Chains A and B, each alone.
Chain A
Amino acid sequence: MTEPLLKVERLRKSFGSNEVLAGIDLEVHERDVMCIVGPSGSGKSTLLRCLNHLEKPTSGIIFLRGEPIGLRWKGNRLHEMTFDELSRQRRRMGMVFQGFHLFPHKTALENVTEAPIIVKGLRPDVARAEAMEMLEKVGLADRADYFPRQLSGGQQQRVAIARSLAMKPELMLFDEPTSSLDPELVGEVLATMRQLADEGMTMVVVTHEMLFARDVADHLIFMDGGVIVEQGDPKQVLTRPRHERTQSFLARVLPEAV
């Protein structure tokens, strides 16, 4: 078995006395798509945000290709990384948010070229050419010069995906990327993600779209109360859940689709 791309060991996170993640272990292998589902407040976003240290774990380690995130050995002593050291690791993991978070003062194209130019030091013309490729991939080449406020929610989210892809990340994290979209716009974003998965991008996706999880995920995780209650093959988990908590969650969110 090859070394996993991402490995989470004994991850715990508390906000004050509120323990939100109560010991999470998981592995994501290269080219795999992992979907995480679970009721509101179960800690899905917190887990995802711990992966690239947008939240600092209370304890536990996240390894990216065997390298601990946010920590550095100096001889036999373990040091916390500074923000700027951490940013070298963060750029290897793209992240797409529920609320897009595009830069409103920049055009779609500039949103995509920004990080490659200033973080990677790419020449502007090279960055623009690459960014156009990314926009092409998400089907928005003709919107390159639009500002975010001139785009629909679905288009904004696809620009946000292109923005992350432009950094050539080793894996992509998605936190409910379609949850703030009007129903008729969900499809275009899911199609883009499906295409990414087909191209072999490693993805961790928190989602409420059970059909997407069933069809695209290689591995499904059901979380509740800060722990992984059940995991495995998505069809298995969705059609024949073994745990009572999974069953009652699925009964609520699945009409009869799956």
Chain B
Amino acid sequence: MSKTSERVVSGRPDIHVVKPIPVRSYGQWAGAAVLLVFAALFLKNLTTNQNMQWPVVRQYLFHPDILSGLGMTILLTLLAMVIGLSIGIVLAIMRLSSSPVFQGASWVWIWFFRGVPPLVQLILWYNLALLIPEISIGIPFGPKFATWDTNDLITPFSAAILGLAFTESAYAAEMLRAGIQAVSSGQVEACASLGMTRSQTLRRVILPQALRIVIPPIGNDTISMLKFTSLVSVLALPDVLYSAQMVYARTHQTIPLLVVATIWYLVLTTVLTFGEHFVEHRLHSGTPLSLREMLRRLVVTVPFRRQKEIAS
């Protein structure tokens, strides 16, 4: 009587004793080898190509002009996102209101600002004075209390903020609308039965949950916004890109200065990506994410990770 229920075949070792040979993914190995060769070529070119002019990159990476441009890029991104999200919340609420006038106004706004490219908008806002020479506060069709020359109000900076924030507001509104609709109507009824007013329900129950749902898309939008801010160079607004352009216009060191800008954009998007993962994890589990886990998530996406876990 053998210890295992398996049929005995002469010469074969006991199935409980031998260790099975793991699956070998030859295709993956071959692919990896090809990629490594390309990576080596790329790295060699990056480090040895004289045209990269690494000493120049090093010289300008922390140059005051570049750093102040970096500050401008960050400021534009933050302001455009904050203003865009605020308008987006109002638009989303209008879109879900029972009044067809609010719904329609919100729809038109979203339709326009999602449809017009941000670059076109920047130029349009900058040239607003050509369309509307003065802006005033007063009674519609009646007397005016205060009037400003549009040219004084619209600077490259305010034109940039308007264009970027309005574009963001349209996208944010659609995200938030989906987030708000994901909060069950049962909870809204529970709030009503507890005697909460409409605005209390919105502030305390609906928005906190909706915002949680839209954190990942907002993170994505912030990264997109960071890159969109480079458009402001058409308004001669000194962000990172325009500051670099100003330098190479003088020195003709085009490639190294573009590398400087590229490095800074990559640094910022990396920081934002980490921040997004951190916030998202915090919201879902209430505990901060360890650095190791964060790196793992950046590299391996969830379904593939799960596949690996199932297989092993």
Residues of A within 8 A of B (CB): 52, 54, 83-84, 87-88, 90-95, 97, 99, 101-105, 114-115, 118-119, 160, 163-164, 167, 173
- Which of these binds chain A: B5-13, B37-45, B104-112, B200-208? B200-208
**Judging by beta carbons under 8 Å apart, are A104 and B209 in contact?**
yes
What mask results when residues 119 to 157 of chain B are scored 1 for a CB within 8 Å of chain A, else 0? 000000000000000000000000000000000000000
Provide the residues of chain A in CB contact with B196, threshold 8 Å. 87, 115, 118-119
State the Cβ distance, A206 to closest chain B Cβ, in Å: 14
- Is B195 in the interface zone, CB < 8 Å from A? yes
A5 to B212, CA, bound (A): 42
A84 to B199, CA, bound (A): 9
**Judging by beta carbons under 8 Å apart, are B186 and A97 in contact?**
yes
- Which positions 183-198 of chain B face chain A at CB distance < 8 Å? 184, 186-187, 189-190, 192-198
**Judging by beta carbons under 8 Å apart, are B209 and A115 in contact?**
no
State the Cβ distance, B188 to closest chain A Cβ, in Å: 9
**Judging by beta carbons under 8 Å apart, are B190 and A118 in contact?**
no
Provide the residues of chain A in CB contact with B192, threshold 8 Å. 52, 54, 83, 87, 90
A118 to B195, CA, bound (A): 10
State the Cβ distance, A61 to closest chain B Cβ, in Å: 20
State the Cβ distance, B280 to closest chain A Cβ, in Å: 14
Given pairs A101-B190, A103-B187, A118-B204, 15 additional interface contacts (CB within 8 A): A52-B193, A87-B196, A91-B195, A93-B193, A94-B194, A95-B190, A101-B187, A101-B189, A102-B190, A103-B190, A103-B205, A105-B208, A105-B209, A164-B194, A173-B193
- Of the four ranges (under 10, 10 to 19, 20 to 34, 35 or more), the interface on chain B belongs to 10 to 19
**Judging by beta carbons under 8 Å apart, are A119 and B194 in contact?**
yes
**Judging by beta carbons under 8 Å apart, are A54 and B209 in contact?**
no
Kindly name the residue among B192, B195, B198, B204 whose own CB sees the greatest number of chain A CB atoms within 10 A: B195
Contact partner of A87 among B184, B189, B195, B209, CB < 8 A? B195
State the Cβ distance, B183 to closest chain A Cβ, in Å: 9
Provide the residues of chain A in CB contact with B189, threshold 8 Å. 54, 95, 97, 101
A103 to B212, CA, bound (A): 13
Please give me the residue from chain A that is nearest to B197 by CB atom.
A84
Provide the residues of chain B in CB contact with A163, threshold 8 Å. 190, 194
A188 to B264, CA, bound (A): 60
Contact partner of A167 among B184, B186, B194, B200, CB < 8 A? B194
**Judging by beta carbons under 8 Å apart, are A54 and B193 in contact?**
yes
**Judging by beta carbons under 8 Å apart, are B204 and A95 in contact?**
no
A119 to B192, CA, bound (A): 11
A173 to B205, CA, bound (A): 22
**Judging by beta carbons under 8 Å apart, are A83 and B197 in contact?**
yes
State the Cβ distance, A71 to closest chain B Cβ, in Å: 17
Closest 4 A/B residue pairs (Cβ)? A91-B195, A95-B193, A101-B186, A115-B194
A90 to B156, CA, bound (A): 53
A116 to B168, CA, bound (A): 37
**Judging by beta carbons under 8 Å apart, are A90 and B193 in contact?**
yes
Instruction: Offer 10 A-B interface pairs, CB within 8 angstroms, sorted by A.
Output: A87-B195, A87-B196, A93-B193, A94-B194, A95-B189, A101-B187, A103-B190, A104-B209, A114-B194, A118-B204
Provide the residues of chain B in CB contact with A173, threshold 8 Å. 193
A233 to B205, CA, bound (A): 41
Provide the residues of chain A in CB contact with B198, threshold 8 Å. 83-84
**Judging by beta carbons under 8 Å apart, are A99 and B186 in contact?**
yes
Provide the residues of chain A in CB contact with B208, threshold 8 Å. 105
A54 to B186, CA, bound (A): 11
